[in-house]
A and B are shown apart, each in its own frame.
Chain A
Amino acid sequence: AQKVTQAQTEISVVEKEDVTLDCVYETRDTTYYLFWYKQPPSGELVFLIRRNSFDEQNEISGRYSWNFQKSTSSFNFTITASQVVDSAVYFCALRGSPSGGSYIPTFGRGTSLIVHP
């Protein structure tokens, strides 16, 4: 069975602060895929990033960056200089490979980020 833990239920910051959202995962698959989604109050889950288990390179996209560390089974997400528009619930998700039997996505419980002006 696979599991995704987002220990931070809610984070509150003031605009321009940096914030890191934690994601820790468990899987028996050697090949797996990790995702981050953003869900604003409107409801739609917006895809942010996909990372496979063989690619441990960190990624930066504008104010967003992701730190993938297999040694600690973590895939953390940092927003630099947060803005009010970043306020949303952020979900980390895990999918195994079809042959691994963990094909169905597993979502973490989500972290609600509130950015105050």
Chain B
Amino acid sequence: DTEVTQTPKHLVMGMTNKKSLKCEQHMGHRAMYWYKQKAKKPPELMFVYSYEKLSINESVPSRFSPECPNSSLLNLHLHALQPEDSALYLCASSQESRAGDPDTQYFGPGTRLTVL
């Protein structure tokens, strides 16, 4: 089973709203990722959690706040977003042994976010 689930599928929010995106995997993967993808562009890495600790933050604005409550869950808390933040937000996970080679990332279906 190589499934990563994401909720909600679609989200419309105003610039003053607070919302959260959720991601879940049950493959026993120890690394989880958030990506942002604009139309006709490749995914852009935002955050990486490795063994439930934030290991990479690609200079993402503080209005995006990630959280990894446990090894299966990854949240992205959104607050005071801008219209230009409208995009497809993809979650991914990978096995990632501590000293091993980079494993395949498996992606969820994404959340299409529209900021009004």
Contact = CB atoms under 8 A, between A and B. Distances in A.
Chain B interface residue number, banded: 20 to 34
Contact of A44 (B45, B58, B108): B108
Contacts of A47: 2, 104-107
Contact of B43 (A98, A103, A107): A107
Interface of B is mostly: loop
A31 to B, nearest CB: 7
Contacts, number: 56
Q: Considering residues A37, A43, A98, A104, which has the most beta carbons from chain B within 10 angstroms of its beta carbon?
A: A43
Contact of A33 (B2, B99, B101): B101
Q: Considering residues B42, B56, B105, B110, which has the most beta carbons from chain A within 10 angstroms of its beta carbon?
A: B42
Interface residues of A, number: 25
A104 B112 contact: no
Interface of A: 31, 33, 35, 37, 42-47, 50, 52, 91, 95-98, 103-105, 107-110, 112
